[in-house]
Amino acid sequence: MVQLTTTTLAGLLTTVQLATAHFSIDYPSWRANSLQSGSGFSQWVYPCAGVPGGLSTTNRTDWPLTGGSLKLDLHHPWTYVFVNLGLGENVTNFNYTLTPNFWNETGNGTLCIPSMPLPADLTVTDGTKASLQVVTLGDSGSALYNCADITFRSNATSLPSSDCANSPGVSYAVVNQEVNGTTTSSSANGTTSGSGNSTGGSGTSGKNSGAAMGVDMVVMTSVVGLVVAFVAGMGL
Ligand SMILES: [Cu+2]
């Protein structure tokens, strides 16, 4: 039984205020500041927070041919993160995933990945234009969207490490897949601290204890539900 008390309402209001915080893409430069009040954009809107492609012809960042840096400013206590890519000048289909296993991220602040690996079946050459869509997913199952436009360049570089560090308390774990009780992949990311993460991140050891596997199972169960809700929300 949930009783609506003054305390509960205050909590709900706090939640709503947190929910307006959303996130930004700091690098590569996002299409537009979808957080700006009066911008008319909403991060709830797929795709790209409703920011149309081609809004700015100068807001396109050069990215290395092997994948570049991604820097997010996350405002929620935790989130699931998906990064997708579509080829072309005005992308309508983000059909390549840069996160085949999505991330379970903890903490608010800067999350910076020095170099995002590209999928093996994605072929790019100098001058190939593309767009990234970053999707974050919370516990309500609703997602937030932002996009950044890039041009693949042979002479482009990643962010220097001095400009690509996570805020204190910000970390992520790559969500494992459980197939018949066998862990098929694990988070082996150097940026994963694992501290303060109550729902994941057990895969770094490469060997699951019974307790850790139990946690993974719970995570995956809820994640499947969330992904279903996510896909349903996209109308696919
Ligand atoms: Cu928010």
CATH, domain range 21-173? 2.70.50
Q: HEC string of 152-167?
A: EECCCCCCCHHHCCCC
| Res 189: pLDDT | 52
Is the CB of residue 77 less than 8 Å from the CB of residue 48? Answer: no
Q: If residue 214 lies in a helix (H) or strand (E), which one and from where to where?
A: helix 210-233
CA of 128 to the centre of ligand 1 (A): 32
| Res 72: pLDDT | 98
CA of 165 to the centre of ligand 1 (A): 22
CA of 136 to the centre of ligand 1 (A): 9
| Res 114: pLDDT | 98
CA of 64 to the centre of ligand 1 (A): 30
Helix (H, G, I), strand (E, B) or coil at 44: coil
CA of 179 to the centre of ligand 1 (A): 33
Q: What are phi and psi of 226, to 5 degrees?
A: -65, -40
| Res 54: pLDDT | 80
Tokens for 218? 């719970």
Q: What string of pLDDT tens digits covers the 236 residues of the chain? A: 445 444 444 444 444 444 557 999 999 999 999 999 899 999 999 999 999 998 777 899 999 999 999 999 999 999 999 999 999 999 989 999 999 999 999 999 999 999 999 999 999 999 999 999 999 999 889 999 999 999 999 999 999 999 999 999 999 999 987 777 766 555 545 444 433 333 433 333 333 333 333 334 334 444 444 443 343 343 33
Distance (Å, rounded) from C-alpha 195 to C-alpha 142?
26
- Measured between alpha carbons, how far apart are the two ends of the chain, in Å? 35
CA of 101 to the centre of ligand 1 (A): 23
